[in-house]
Structure 1
Amino acid sequence: MGCSASSSLKDQKSETVMQAALKIQNWYRGYRVRLKARQCHALSIFQSIEYADEQGQLQLSNFFSFMLENYTQVCDKDSGLVTRLVGSTIQDYKNRQDCVGLIEVPDSYNGTRLHFPLTCTDLYLLIEAFKQQQILHAYYVLEVLFETKKVLKRMPNFNHIKTSPSKEITICGDLHGKLDDLFLIFYKNGLPSENNPYVFNGDFVDRGKNSIEILMILFVSFLVYPNNLHLNRGNHEDFMMNFRYGFTNEVLHKYKMKSVLMPPVPLGEDHNTALGKNKVPQGVKTNESPSEQLTKHEWEQVIDILWSDPRGRKGCYPNISRGGGCYFGPDITSQILNKYQLKMLIRSHECKPEGYEICHDGKVVTIFSASNYYEEGSNRGAYIRVGYGTAPRFYQYQVTRATCSRPLYHRVNIMESSAIRMLKERIISRKTDLINAFQLQDCNKSGKLSVGQWASSMEVVLDLNLPWRSLSFHLVTRDKDGNIDYMSSFQDIRIKNPVKEALSTLIETVYRYRSDLQIIFNVIDSDHSGLISMEEFRSMWKLFKSHYSIHIDDSQIDELANRMDLNKDGSIDFNEFLKAFNVVHKFDKLNKSDTKLT
């Protein structure tokens, strides 16, 4: 009987332990699910804001067309502006020697010295130099660029690549200036060679800090192995994108060169171009023949190829998130693949949490090779190996930094904080519009809205497809009944006010369009002094206001400009002008202290 009681007690203890283990397991699973949901929400914020910015970039392209058509009517004094916009800059150097011959490599230069024709030794030396954070001399950069251009112009637009049972092809997606990702790919998968061919699917530059280094490695690899390394163009291989997303600034910083930030735009009379239908102003000559200029239909095809994304819904419809290209459904994919007797489309262009995604019944694969794209720990990178008669194999990785080795909850906290910070900056830039929308819903003038009313107002004004109800816990305060104090949407953040008397609508407008304005005013800064004359400022603002349908009285911007002309010399330091419109986060100093502690 004693044995029986002892056995029963053991069984009870075992059952208790099992129940406890199950509870812990269930709690942990729920905890992981909640963390993943927070991570997903943060990624959706990053992506929504990214796509909204790309809409602005396409709108800016349209503005330049508008400016070409109208600027001379507004400001006849600066006829040279139009020449700068559509005339020649880098194309003035017709041949290689005229350009490269202007640069000498001093004896004191101890970096990599490339020897043409290039060999695999040059590639090895270049990679090792970049690992040591050396800067390749401008002379060799230009030599590589000219040589690459010469070889590319001899090649067709579409490349046909063959595989065999013993020879696979590696396909990489967006790199976006993330040099460590490229190093990791080469470490895991080997350098390009005749027996190890690669396809790089565009978006080599912008956002990251090492776009030049990535271009140089890829171009040198291409010149050494022209039949075994293939480069496709992405939507960031475009000078207008480079203005906003960092590549232009990287070049200017690393090579101390200043140039008009508007490359030559070939325009012909009654000819459609990427900037619209324009006529070349009298006296302006173009460098490209009509056969090298795009028709409107060809330009639209290029935009569709570079900007479109797959979606689950059938059909083909406008890509409203990006503002360019289209969404295409599984039926469109099947039609195209059947028409051209293809099995699969491997594309890039979209960040995916795991580095890749398969959709449309396995017929479309998105590959993205820049890990930690939005924030450290935000996503993995991946590449694909494709062989004869075998299914594609995916290889994932993530460049390790301090945050990546921390627990998941810590990485999610960092991602979430960064995403919420970006979203708050978006919110404060539309403060006046949001307040108007809130007050329309607030019939009782209580200062409170239901979660649904607040969420719908945010969606309408900001035009971001986000889970606003879930995000409300991070953005606003609620009362005991669950109603939202809608003015708390703007807590802990403000836009610097350069002039106390300036209207909030004007401050918000300048802040909202600050990136566009910086690009535009860099274009008209003909002597690269960083100073803009008051007359140029007024003329360009009037055009900008007209094109973007901004309802602000000219007297307000005139008064603001006069107040920003501190020494009253009739000009404005425009970079300093824009700094006066930066956002201030209340807890910036506290966050920096927290970061150091963690």
Structure 2
Amino acid sequence: MGSIIGAMGCSSSVADRRSENVIRAAILIQKWYRFTMARLEMRRRYSLSIFQSIEYADEQDQLQLSNFFTFMLDHCTHPDSVSQIFTSPSAPQVVDEDLCLKEFEKKIDVPDSYYGPRLSFPLTVEDANALLHAFRNEQLLHARYVLQLLSETRRVLKEMPNITHLSTSYSKEITVCGDLHGNLDDLLLIFYKNGLPSEQNRYVFNGDFVDRGKNSMEILIILFAFLLIYPNDLHLNRGNHEDYIMNLRYGFTKEVSKKYKDHWKQILCLLRDVFSWLPLATIIDSKVLILHGGISDTTDLDFLNALERNKLKSLMRPPKSVRNRQDQMKKRIPTTKPSKHIANQHVAGKTQHISSSGFTEPPGSNLPPDPALKEWKQVITIFSASNYYEEGSNRGAYIKLNPELTPRFVQYQVSKFTRRRNLRERVGTIESSALKSLREKIYAHRSELISAFAQYDINGTGRISVNDWAAAMESVLQLELPWRMLRSQLAQINPDGEVDFMSCFYDLKMGQPIKEAQPALAETLCRYRKDLEIIFNIIDKDHSGLISLEEFSQTWRLFTSHLGIDIEDDSIDKLVLSIDYNKDGHIDFNEFLEAFHVVHRLEKKATS
């Protein structure tokens, strides 16, 4: 019996050891998994920080060039008057806006071959459903119906105040949506999850319906259609992208001209007027303020309420009265950086405020403070475009507000392609794209960065400490990024732990056709590429995609003069000739963009 008992004890101890090993292995796997997931999340977050910081910096650059854009627009664009949208050698002007529906029918035929929705006014829910069905199947609404819809939308918007007041007593909940940026799938998913707009299902869409995505026009048509059907239950605030100058830069103008080749001018001109009539803010139960881009202690609701909003065609060229008051306040009050693209909460007082990203300085900011806005209980930023920077980069969200005004967040992500890749692959794509954008920013400020590095490199060794390198990067780029964390992705380090600061530029160069251009000119081209795209579109009045060499040369001279950049005339001439890559005497849009392309040599080697 003793031997048997001993054997049983030995078997038990072996089983115990096996069990302990299994537990240890499970704990190790769990730790490894948590560590891996934490690292992936860290990479995803700093990639988003890069995108957000660069986007904000670009917006600031554009604001700094607003005077130049105003000058360009005053000399290069067609008249503002919407009554001239039908002006042609053979067509009379349409002055009476009440006649627009009939005039559109007279002037624009809808052929029998058109199989899309045929709208009649006033619109019905069946019309809205037909639009949703058509857009799901990638159909276009005919230009006549687009123009009629925009004309009717303008008529309704003109009757609305600058600030809309809503009450939850008329419905159980109100849904607040943020930026959509042309992502139709996000809007369709919101309607699928939350239901279509109706008297019982009220919505507030807080601006930035257009630009960047490929279906801005469809989003506008859907929202405007529901606005006409439920004018008391669907509400639209204006965002900073409901602005024809922003549309030149971020894609909406190009989208409209591509989709409506024969009538894009009329559509864009009418849209410019429609955008100017969009309300500026919404207040729910006198307690929740919803507006695009955020607030400061200088926001003045009385000023917003009294503003002649239709005169604010673009934030880049506000009316003189607004410019004067903003200039006066800028001397006394600094501007703060708004929060970006995340649904978050910050405790700060007594009243709720919901914003979505966009307006760096909304109409009415930098003005004497309204006492009602001095204290805030909760500030929420909501962003409704998922996959905004890259596929899988972020979720979208909307807010449900009940009668107690308690916010409930609903998150989602359109996942047509996301499920085909695992998390590591998705984060890798986001990170790679973010770092590419950051390296382009670094190249654009190459000279300034080298000077900043040199201030820390007293002995001229070409090496500085990681702390000094991070300080120099931030002092020049001012992106508020975790530079020490990013160092391994951007610069090489020697065995002594010092940064070889010139290695920031080892994997970057300007591509053809201007790699031999004056160095200062090449950097300037890269830095102001997006602004130059606006200028290109302003010069290209008929949006044919072509401008003459002389037009481009004259504009570039104006641009460099405005920036105070000393560029030799022969260098500009060489630049213009080199951009005309096919030597046809014109610069097309592809040639224009290729001229400002930064080549990432190391990335190309890795993918070849």
Could you say which TM-score interval applies, normalised by the shorter chain? 0.7 to 0.9
**How much does 1:319 deviate?**
2.5
Which SS does the other structure have where 2:204 is aligned? Answer: strand
Asked if residue 163 in structure 1 is aligned to residue 162 in structure 2, the reply is: no
Residues 250-329 of structure 1: pairs in structure 2 closer than 5 A: 250-257=255-262, 259=265, 293=311, 296=320, 298=322, 317-320=334-337
Name the counterpart of 2:510. 495
Query: Is 1:483–2:508 an aligned residue pair?
Result: no
Aligned counterpart for 1:175 among listed residues 161, 180, 190: 180
Deviations 1:83-142 (A, max 9, x none): 747777649643325556432211111111112111000111110110001111111111
Change (3 A) 1:135 1:16: same
CA deviation after TM superposition for structure 1 residue 424, in Å: 1.4
- Relative distance call for 1:143 and 1:251 in structure 2 (3 A) is same
Are positions 1:15 and 2:20 aligned together? yes
Q: 1:562 and 1:188 mapped to 2: Cα distance?
A: 54
> Could you tell me how far apart the structure 2 residues matched to 1:350 and 1:84 are?
27
Secondary structure (helix, strand or coil) at the match of 1:318 reads: coil
Residue in structure 1 matched with residue 481 of structure 2 by the alignment:
466
Q: 1:63 aligns with which of 62, 68, 89?
A: 68
Preserved contact between residue 376 and residue 401 of structure 1 (Cα < 8 Å): no
**Cα deviation, residue 426, structure 1:** 1.4
Q: Residues of 2 paired with 1:86 and 1:142: CA distance?
A: 17
Question: SS in structure 2 opposite 1:494?
Answer: strand
Q: Residue 352 of structure 2 aligns to which amino acid in structure 1?
A: M
Say whether the 8 Å CA contact 2:401–2:408 is kept in structure 1.
Answer: yes
Mapped partners of 1:58, 1:33: distance in 2: 37
**Among candidates 232, 241, 248, match of residue 227 of structure 1:** 232
Write the distance in 1 (CA, Å) between the matches of 2:430 and 2:457: 33
Q: Is the 8 A contact 1:49 1:464 kept in 2?
A: yes
Relative to structure 1, the CA distance from residue 501 to residue 396 in structure 2 (aligned partners, 3 Å threshold; closer, same or farther) is closer
Contact 1:51 1:322 in 2 (8 A): no
Determine which of 345, 348, 358 is the counterpart of 2:356. Answer: 348
Unaligned runs of 5+ residues in structure 2 are 88-93, 274-306, 313-318, 360-374
Judged with a 3 Å threshold, the aligned counterparts in structure 2 of structure 1 residues 298 and 570 are, in CA distance, closer, same or farther, namely same
* CA deviation profile, 1:229-269 (whole Å, cap 9, x unmatched): 11111111111211111111111111125659997999xxx
Q: Distance in 2 between matches of 1:349 and 1:392?
A: 18
Corresponding position: 1:187 with 2:192? yes
Residues 244 and 29 of structure 1, relative CA distance in 2, 3 Å threshold:
same
* 2:440 and 2:526 in contact (8 A); partners too: no
2:207 maps to what in 1? 202
Shift of 1:329: 8.6
List per-residue Cα deviations over 1:406-451 (Å, max 9, x = no partner): 3322221111111111111212222233233333433333332322
Query: Hey, what does 1:32 align to over in structure 2?
Result: 37
2:149–2:221 contact (8 Å) kept in structure 1:
yes
Q: Is the 8 A contact 2:240 2:358 kept in 1?
A: no
Alignment of 1:141-152 (within 5 A): 141-152=146-157
Q: 1:577 to 1:523 in 2, by over 3 A?
A: same
- After TM superposition, the structure 1 = structure 2 runs for residues 372-383 of structure 1, keeping only pairs within 5 Å, are 372-383=387-398
Structure 1 residues 118 and 569, CA, compared in 2 at 3 Å: closer, same or farther? closer
- Whole-angstrom distance in 2 between the partners of 1:48 and 1:142: 38
Residues 44-53 or 21-30, more deviating:
21-30
Q: 1:237 aligns with which of 242, 245, 250?
A: 242
Question: How many angstroms apart in 2 are the aligned matches of 1:549 and 1:434?
Answer: 19
Cα 1:85–1:465 change in 2 (3 A) is farther
Cα distance, 1:124–1:590 mapped onto 2, change above 3 Å: farther
Greater mean deviation of Cα atoms: 431-440 or 562-571: 562-571
CA drift at 1:553: 2.6
1:378-407 Cα offsets, whole Å, 9 max, x none, are 111111222223622221111113234533
Change (3 A) 1:403 1:122: same
**3-state secondary structure, aligned to 1:160:** strand
Shift of 1:565: 6.0
> For structure 1, which runs of at least 5 residues remain unmatched after alignment?
70-80, 267-288, 304-314, 338-342, 352-359, 594-598
Distance 1:458 1:157, change over 3 A: same
- Conservation of the 8 A alpha-carbon contact between 2:76 and 2:541: no
**1:350-374 deviations in whole A, cap 9, x for unaligned?**
79xxxxxxxx986122221111111
Q: Which of 441, 445, 457 is matched with 1:442 structurally?
A: 457
> 2:436 & 2:379 partners in 1: Cα distance?
34
Conserved? CA contact 1:39–1:416, under 8 Å: yes
1:154 to 153, 159, 164: 159
User: Quick one: distance in 2 between partners of 1:20 and 1:300?
Assistant: 69
Counterpart-to-counterpart distance in 1, 2:188 and 2:77: 42
Specify the SS of the correspondent of 1:109: coil
Paired residue type of 2:234: L
Tell me how far apart the structure 2 counterparts of residues 219 and 585 of structure 1 sit (CA, whole Å): 43
- Cα distance in 2 for partners of 1:391, 1:322 equals 21
**1:501 positional shift:** 4.1
Q: Aligned residues: percent identity?
A: 54
Letter in 1 for 2:47: A
Q: Distance in 2 between matches of 1:462 and 1:237?
A: 28
Give the distance between the partners of 1:129 and 1:58, measured in 2 at CA.
Answer: 38
Instruction: Give the aligned partner of residue 596 of structure 1.
Output: none
- Deviation at residue 11 of structure 1 after TM alignment: 3.6
Cα deviation 1:31-77 (Å, max 9, x = unaligned): 222111111110100101111111122223221235579xxxxxxxx
Q: Which stretch of the first structure deviates more once superposed, 479-488 or 195-204?
A: 479-488
The verdict on how the C-alpha distance between 1:4 and 1:501 changes in structure 2, with shifts beyond 3 A counting, is closer
Could you tell me how far apart the structure 2 residues matched to 1:142 and 1:260 are?
8
- The aligned residue for residue 389 of structure 1 is 404
Root mean square deviation, CA, Å: 3.6
TM-score (norm: length of structure 2): 0.78
Q: CA deviation at 1:482?
A: 2.4
Contact 2:85–2:266 (Cα < 8 Å) also in 1: no
Equivalent in the alignment of 1:123: 128
Amino acid corresponding to residue 245 of structure 1 in structure 2:
Y
- Aligned partner of 1:541 in structure 2 is 556
Return the alpha-carbon distance in structure 2 between the equivalents of residues 301 and 113 of structure 1: 47
**Shift in CA distance, 178/574, structure 1 to aligned 2, threshold 3 Å:** closer
Contact 2:171 2:201 (8 Å CA) reproduced: no
1:260–1:526 contact (8 Å) kept in structure 2: no
Say whether the 8 Å CA contact 1:260–1:523 is kept in structure 2.
no
Matched residues in 2 for 1:530 and 1:7: separation?
Answer: 81
- Deviation of the 1:154 alpha carbon: 1.0
Q: Give 1:311's aligned residue.
A: none
Letter in 2 for 1:401: K
Deviation at 1:292, TM superposition (A): 5.7
Supply the AA of the counterpart residue of 1:13. Answer: R
How many residues align? The count is: 528
For 1:215, the equivalent position in structure 2 comes to: 220
Match of 1:506 among 504, 514, 521: 521
Query: After superposition, where does 1:499-578 map in structure 2 within 5 Å?
Result: 499=514, 501-526=516-541, 530-533=545-548, 535-562=550-577, 564=579, 572-573=587-588, 576-578=591-593
* Partner of residue 368 from structure 1, selected from 378, 383, 388: 383
Q: For residues 200-226 of structure 1, what are the alpha-carbon distances to aligned partners after superposition, in whole Å with 9 as ceiling and x for unaligned? A: 111111111110011111111111111
Give SS of 2:385's match.
Answer: coil
User: Partner letter of residue 553 of structure 1?
Assistant: E
